[in-house]
Amino acid sequence: MGILDFFFSSKIKTTSFYELHHRIVKLRAENLYPYPYNLPQAIQFPPDFWRDLIGIYNKTFKDGLERAFSVFWADGEVVLTEVNTGSDKMVKSGGTIQVKYSHHPTKSDYARKELYVDGKLLKKRDVYNKNVPKALEVQYLFNIHTHPKHTREDGSTYYNFFSAQDITALLSSKAIMTGLVTDKLWLLIRSDKTPGQIEGLTDAQVTPQYVQEVLHMGLYLAQFEKKAFSYKILKDKDLI
């Protein structure tokens, strides 16, 4: 992926998380899904996103339990909800975000911004009074969950791909995208050609080829702290 970053990033249009957030919110408000030709080629996530995601990955790596978290856009910041620990088979996610502005206790030109996740103070910072927004913007974007590592009899290790249950949950939720953390980050973005439901789907059917060619979803893969590139682009360039 480092080679791809160096040689191909200048030729591949990258969508920032800020842009992605606005697209998701606009599409959801209009009850629409993106056209396949409008799906991003690459997605750039901010450092805070990777810091929190890697922290969750490390917990699953240590205890082998699946975890899920919700990704929010909270008044200019990317926020991941607290982890809900599940079993080694299934996990459910949730979380609530709240942003509060108050008069700064010592600086007259500043306000104090506080960000709460599930009722607990996550972070706070000072902002100029003139930069305090007139309306707060807290928006749920999508869910991500982890899959633990498995070991074969010969000692080799592997991670499971998205499961049939993951796909069914995405379709039934009407969400635009979802994510999976193994030792990498996988993302799925549904398009307007993605079916609303699928009967009798099995885990064995769910492969990168299936989600792209049959379900008409955009599939993305990222090494930690790198861009998430279209799986098709990686495949076409023989990088996976």
What DSSP line would sit under 147-201, residue for residue?
A: --EEE-TTS-EEE----HHHHHHHHHHT-SEEEEESSSEEEEE--TTS-S--SS-
What pTM does this model have?
Answer: 0.84
pLDDT over 70 percentage in the chain: 90
Torsion, CA 43, CA 194, CA 69, CA 61, rounded to 10? -80
Token pair belonging to 60: 């699953």
Residue-wise pLDDT tens digits, 101-128: 899 989 889 999 888 887 888 888 898 9
User: Would you place residue 49 in the very low, low, confident or very high pLDDT band (cuts 50, 70, 90)?
Assistant: very high
Q: Which residues contact 105 (CB under 8 A, 6 or more apart)?
A: 112
Calpha distance 125→119 (Å, rounded): 17
Name the residue with tokens 């969400």.
175
Name the residue with tokens 């856009």.
73
Letter string b/e over residues 208-232, b meaning 16 or more CB atoms within 10 A of that residue's CB: bebbbeebbbbbbbbeeebbbbbbb
User: Would you place residue 75 in the very low, low, confident or very high pLDDT band (cuts 50, 70, 90)?
Assistant: confident
Token pair belonging to 202: 């099995």
